[in-house]
Structure 1
Amino acid sequence: MGMSVTIAAAAEPDAEQIFRLQYLCFQSEAARYGNYRIDPLVQSLDQVREEVADDCVFVARLGDEVVGSVRGRLTEDGAAAIGMLCVHPRLQGHGIGARLLGAAEKALAEQRGATTYRMRTGHRSESGLRLCRKLGYRAVGRSQGADGVEMIVLEKPAAAYAATA
């Protein structure tokens, strides 16, 4: 490729690229469930802009192009809800998702005081489940998304980020 992928905190100008990347990346997930109304596909650009401004959002860049993204926010119980992890299909399988997740975990623990990391992924999303397990997450329950998709809830202690980052 000639360039390496870098991980950095997202800024407001990244919101549109994150929005487009998210729409591209979650098409296969929508097809897997036969549901094109899943949250990542119906989220508005304004909502993405709000999350970039308020939440802990990281991007992976290849030059000026955003090729990956992840978001996290602190919940009332002190857990960090991490989601919308996506990597451009042409770059999947190269560890970018793990690097993004590690950056988000570190920031959420150090800057926001997260005690636990919590992720949700669709029950048929084998690659997402495999990544979470590889990075130390354990299934703790199930939930139903607002879009009707059955989700597996996974968690790990925040102190574990250093071992996977």
Structure 2
Amino acid sequence: MTEPIIAAAEAGDAGELLTLQRAAYVSEAQIYGDPLLPPLVETIAALDAEIAAGGVLKAVLGNRIVGTGRARLEGDTWHLGRIAVAPDMQGRGIGTLILTALEARAPEAAAHCALFTGFKSEANLRLYERNGYQETHRGPGRPGVELVHLAKPAA
């Protein structure tokens, strides 16, 4: 497989990114029995605003967006999230490429990178731990979902 190109999302990408995100998060919704996970109910307007702020990346293979992720700085923490890969492209290293690209965009003010996932999301936890993230704490998410928070020093 040719490696996808990682680039900043652009105005006009929101519809395709939202479709990809929803397809990728259906399996998470099934794990937790929650069809209203935030990535599944996000609006195009909300995603457009994040794209305009410059925090959204896309992975493009040929003419197709096959992955996405986003990040924002809050204090000295570079928060990564909504990392998603098209279901038919999962397991090919695209999630790692997106994660690495998001980390590389961390501003100098970022002391560490942080993210979270659900406690039953074993593939996500393996991906993050493989990339140097360590669990910092657990806390409540939506009803029935315990969130695992992970972090690592920013590069």
CA distance in 2, matches of 1:4, 1:55: 23
Q: Residues 56 and 107 of structure 1 are in contact (CA less than 8 Å); yes or no, is this contact kept in structure 2?
A: no
SS in structure 2 of the partner of residue 86 of structure 1 = strand
Runs in 1 of length 4+ with deviation above 4 angstroms? Answer: none
Deviation at 1:17, TM superposition (A): 0.9
Deviation at 1:61, TM superposition (A): 0.6
Q: CA RMSD in A?
A: 1.3
1:140 counterpart (108, 133, 136):
136
The structure where helix makes up a greater share of residues is: 1
Partner of 1:163: none
Answer yes or no: is 1:96 the counterpart of 2:94: yes
Deviation at 1:53, TM superposition (A): 1.1
Deviation at 1:21, TM superposition (A): 0.5
Partner of 2:68: 69
Alignment-mate amino acid for residue 58 of structure 2: V
CA distance in 2, matches of 1:126, 1:109: 29
SS in structure 2 of the partner of residue 13 of structure 1 = coil
What per-residue deviation string (whole Å, max 9, x for no partner) do you get for residues 18-66 of structure 1? 1110111100000000011111011111111111111421110111211
CA distance in 1, matches of 2:80, 2:139: 15
Q: Residues 109 and 115 of structure 1 are in contact (CA less than 8 Å); yes or no, is this contact kept in structure 2?
A: no
After TM superposition, the score normalised by the length of structure 1 is 0.88
Partner of 2:120: 124
Structure 2: tracts of 5 or more residues without a match: none
Q: Percent identity?
A: 38
